[in-house]
Structures are given as C-alpha cells and as structure tokens.
C-alpha cells in the first residue's frame, strides 16, 4: 500500500478532515506538514462533531500515531487546549499517540499582536488574515530569529530570544502600527509553564517517520488550507504564509520525496473561499445563498461566512498540475441537490481571449469572466447512496465532466458529513 498525501485543490475548506479521517483507518501514522491553527478540520463521527486546528484528524483512531511536523507553526496554548478537549471527550492523547516536532516554530503573543494591528492599519485593503499570528511567525522563521519548540526546553535560551525579539517587535508595534507594547516577563512565565506540559510530546518527527518507513508502515500526510492559498502558487498576496502543495509534504515533515506515494486532491463540488481575494465564479445571488446555507459554509476556525460560487475547474486543473495529483476526492456533492441547473467553469475569458489557467497577475485575473458549461441538476436525495451507479444520472454527468476536464480520475465522493456517507470509487491505497 502506498503512503498518501492529501491536499486541497481550491482555497481551503474542501473537507480534507473527513477524507483524512476515513483513510486513517488503514494508516499507521498521520503527519501534518504545514500551516498553523488558521486551519480547521471539522469531522462528524457518530453524530458528534470534532474540530481540529493543529492535531491531525487521525487522532480519532486510537491505534494511529499522529505527528505535527517541522513545517507547522504551533500555538502552544491552542495545542494544549485541543489535547485537553480530546481527553475530556474520552479520547486519550498522550506521547504514544501524538508527537510534536522539536524543529517546529512557535507562535508568540507578539506575532498575534502584529497580525491584528496590521489588519487594522490596512483598513479596506486588509488581506483577511485570521489574526492567529501565523504569517508573522513564518516571517521570523525566514528571518532566522524564530523560536522553535526545542527552545521551550531551555529557559535561558527562551528568555534571551523573547527579550531580543521584543526590542524590535515593540518598536514596530508602537512606532509604526500605533499598538500597545508587550512585556517579556509574563510571556516567559506563561510559555515555560506550557513547555512543562508539552515536553512529553516533543520529538524528532523526521526520525520517527524514517523508522516507520523502514518498518513498511503506512503514512498519511495531511495538508492544510488549499493550493490556491499557497504562498508561491496561490492568488498572492491573498494567500497563507506556508507552502500548501504536495511537494512540501516532504520538506515539512522531514522525509524524502520518494516516500510520498499517492497524491490525493480534495475538491469541493462547488467553490468557496474565506476572506478577501479574487473569485471568478463567485455567486452573489440567491443561488449563492442557497449553497452557503445548505452547505453550512462558515469557517471552522473563524466562524466567518464563506463566499460561495460555481465549481471552477480552471483552479482545480492548475492544482492537478502543480501537485501531480493521482486522483480526486469530491466532497459535499449533496449540497448541490435541489438546484435545477448547475454550472462548471471550464475556462476564463480575458480580453476576448479564452484561457485555461489562472493568470498570476491579479490585475488580469480581475478582468477574467467565467466560461461555463451547464448541466441539468438533480432533486433526488443522495445522502444514503453507497455506489456510483446509484447516483442520479445528472450527478454522474457532473462527476464525469470533472474527470474529463481535469484528466484525473475520481476515487472518492462524499454525499454527507458522516463517515458512512462516502462512496469509494477506487481505493487510493490500491492505486
């Protein structure tokens, strides 16, 4: 069985958490390789809802080891809260079940303060960040002044780094952003207290994964956000601060690229995005409202209403190429039930010319209009369907169009939020 990398093909919120949860049943390890607690994966299991921000969704399987890789930026308070919440729910989370990379970078209070103050200063030009300090933490990582998880275990090093960083951060906060300065003393005390609780989980994740590979164990690599939020390949600057594409599964976890295996792209049956940024197929009419309400499209992390639109296969096709996808998992197909007619964007019209890729220039992208193919909808309830053959004919036409246009086969179809509401067309582990 191959290892599997799971990535989003749109702007995040594709339903990756549910697919990770399903595939974890056959996995020995699940490793998160990028992002921070700006991501949220929502799962419904046995009628109970679980929302994860840092811990891989595979934690719901008691025989699976979950790992947070070096490519993730970690807010210790959020991580400890997640651990406590899971323990209270009856799911034991200890060091045998969860590892935290000693090389992962730590989100500090000054990162969050800068994140929020910048958005206020930008006013109507704001990017739409979650304010969790993700971007500023990645900035410090690149600037080589970041605090890593391993630093939490050395009080002298931690104090030195916090005090040095605050000299610059407080100057920036007060003199440029007109915000309040921060005191290093309570910050150090709080982080040392959290370090004591996190200590048992700290590990060299790269070594753990290497040993697992030598033992032929199956590893699931869990991405966060989506391809078009990638800091290089997304709709820059309306992107996240990490590399979200499949190639980063290797760098963000400490494994060689030869270990990645099957690349599975998650595609929501329509398109959504949270926050600002270009959105060619956005619907601002009653159809958009219908999709938003039926799909319960609110951000798992922020609670913000998601912008909704028709499925954009220009965006998805770009993701197929960038990630080297082997198959697609279609989620939330059931949300489209009840619409008389459906549209799929198969190209963009830019200044009287049709293009089949997303322009890098946001100026050009703002001039793009969608080229649609129209497909009749369906009204039959598909929430209990368990095979492709039992789907309404128009739903099958919709799915076949996705395969034909992207050139990538569909392996899984989600027809509802529950684990059991999933049609397996072909097993990614066998592909």
By three-state DSSP, how is residue 360 classified? coil
Give the whole-number percent of the chain exceeding pLDDT 90.
82
327 beta partners: 264
95-122 mean pLDDT = 94
Q: Output the CA–CA distances (angstroms, integers) from residue 134 to 72, 101, 112, 315, in the order listed.
A: 10, 17, 8, 25
Contacts 24+ apart (CB under 8 A), 48-56: 48/89, 50/89, 51/300, 52/17, 52/82, 53/78, 53/82, 53/301, 54/78, 54/79, 54/82, 55/79, 55/82, 55/83, 55/86, 55/93, 55/98, 56/20, 56/30, 56/31, 56/32, 56/220, 56/222
**Residue 297 in this model has a pLDDT that exceeds 70:** yes
- The pLDDT-based confidence of 121 (bands split at 50, 70, 90) is confident
Q: Sketch the domain layout of the chain as residue ranges.
A: 4-101+202-262, 105-198, 266-430
Averaged pLDDT for residues 42-55 = 76
The reported pLDDT for the residue numbered 41 is 65
How many Cβ atoms from other residues are within 10 Å of residue 276's Cβ?
Answer: 16
| pLDDT exceeds 70 at position 46 | no
Q: How many helices (H) and strands (E) does the chain have?
A: 12, 20
Q: Is 251 exposed, middle or buried (0-12, 13-18, 19+ CB in 10 A)?
A: middle
pTM of the predicted protein model: 0.93
Tens of pLDDT, residue by residue over 335-356, are 999 999 999 999 999 998 999 9
Q: Which of 99, 35, 94, 97 is nearest to 63 (CA)?
A: 97
Q: What is the arithmetic mean of pLDDT over 162-170?
A: 97
CATH topology for the 4-101+202-262 domain:
Adenylosuccinate Synthetase; Chain A, domain 1 (3.40.440)
Task: Report whether pLDDT(209) > 70.
Answer: yes
Mean per-residue pLDDT over the chain, rounded: 93
Does residue 41 carry a catalytic annotation? yes
pLDDT of residue 274: 87
pLDDT tier, 199 (very low <50, low <70, confident <90, very high otherwise)? very high
Task: Quote the tokens at residue 63.
Answer: 């025989």
Rounded Cα–Cα distance for residues 277 and 273 (Å) = 8
User: How deeply is 354 buried, as exposed, middle or buried, from its count of CB atoms within 10 A (0-12, 13-18, 19+)?
Assistant: exposed
Dihedral sign (CA 56, 59, 63, 66): positive
| 282 phi and psi angles, rounded to 5 deg | -60, 140
| Annotation says 13 is catalytic | yes
The mean per-residue pLDDT over the stretch 46-52 comes to 73
In CATH terms, 105-198 corresponds, of 1.10.3720.10, 1.20.58.390, 1.10.300.10, 1.20.210.10, to 1.10.300.10
Lowest mean pLDDT segment, chosen from 38-47, 62-71, 101-110, 181-190: 38-47
pLDDT of residue 57: 79
Note the pLDDT of residue 300: 61
pLDDT tens sequence across 215-265? 999 999 999 999 999 999 999 999 999 999 999 999 999 999 999 999 999
- 3-state SS assignment for residue 103: coil
pLDDT at residue 127 in the model = 60
Residue 203 confidence (pLDDT): 97
Least confident of 42-56, 96-110, 139-153, 386-400: 42-56
**For the domain 266-430, what is the CATH superfamily, name and number?**
Adenylosuccinate Synthetase, subunit A, domain 3 (3.90.170.10)
Return the pLDDT at 126. Answer: 62
CA–CA dist 241, 272 (Å, integer): 19
Q: Which of 21, 28, 41, 351 is catalytic?
A: 41
């Amino acid at each position: 069985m191959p290892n599997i990398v799971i990535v989003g093909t749109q702007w995040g919120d594709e339903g990756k958490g549910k697919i990770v949860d399903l595939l974890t049943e056959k996995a020995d390890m699940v490793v998160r390789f990028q992002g921070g607690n700006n991501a949220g994966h929502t799962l419904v299991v046995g009628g109970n809802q679980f929302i994860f921000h840092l811990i891989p969704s595979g934690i719901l399987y008691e025989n699976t080891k979950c790992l947070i890789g070096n490519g993730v930026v970690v807010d210790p308070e959020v991580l400890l809260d997640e651990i406590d919440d899971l323990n209270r729910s009856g799911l034991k989370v200890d060091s045998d079940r969860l590892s935290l990379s000693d090389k992962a970078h730590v989100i500090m209070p000054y990162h969050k303060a800068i994140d929020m103050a910048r958005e206020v200063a930008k006013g109507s030009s704001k990017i739409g960040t979650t304010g969790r300090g993700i971007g500023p933490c990645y900035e410090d990582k690149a600037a080589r002044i970041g605090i890593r998880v391993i630093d939490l275990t050395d009080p002298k090093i931690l104090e030195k780094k916090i005090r040095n960083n605050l000299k610059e951060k407080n100057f920036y906060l007060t003199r440029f952003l007109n915000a309040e300065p921060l005191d290093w003393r309570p910050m150090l005390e709080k982080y040392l207290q959290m370090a004591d609780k996190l200590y048992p989980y700290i590990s060299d994740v790269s070594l753990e994964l290497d040993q697992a590979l030598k033992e032929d164990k199956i590893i699931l690599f869990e991405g966060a956000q989506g391809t078009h939020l990638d800091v290089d390949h997304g709709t820059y600057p309306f992107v996240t601060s990490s590399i979200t594409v499949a190639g980063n599964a290797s760098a963000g976890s400490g494994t060689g690229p030869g270990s990645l295996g099957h690349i599975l792209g998650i595609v929501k049956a329509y398109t959504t995005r949270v926050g600002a940024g270009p959105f060619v197929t956005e619907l601002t009419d009653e159809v958009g409202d219908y999709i938003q309400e039926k799909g319960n499209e609110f951000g798992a992390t922020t609670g913000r209403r998601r912008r909704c639109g028709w499925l954009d296969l220009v965006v998805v096709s770009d993701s197929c190429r960038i990630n080297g996808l082997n198959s697609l998992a279609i989620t939330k197909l059931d949300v489209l039930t009840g619409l008389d007619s459906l549209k799929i964007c198969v190209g963009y019209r830019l200044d009287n010319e049709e293009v089949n890729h997303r322009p890098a220039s946001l100026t050009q992208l703002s001039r793009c209009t969608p080229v649609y193919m129209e497909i009749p909808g369906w009204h039959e309830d598909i929430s209990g369907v368990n095979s492709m053959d039992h789907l309404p004919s128009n739903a099958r036409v919709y799915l076949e169009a996705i395969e034909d246009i992207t050139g990538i086969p569909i392996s899984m179809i989600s027809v509802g939020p529950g684990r059991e509401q999933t049609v397996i067309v072909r097993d990614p582990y066998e592909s």
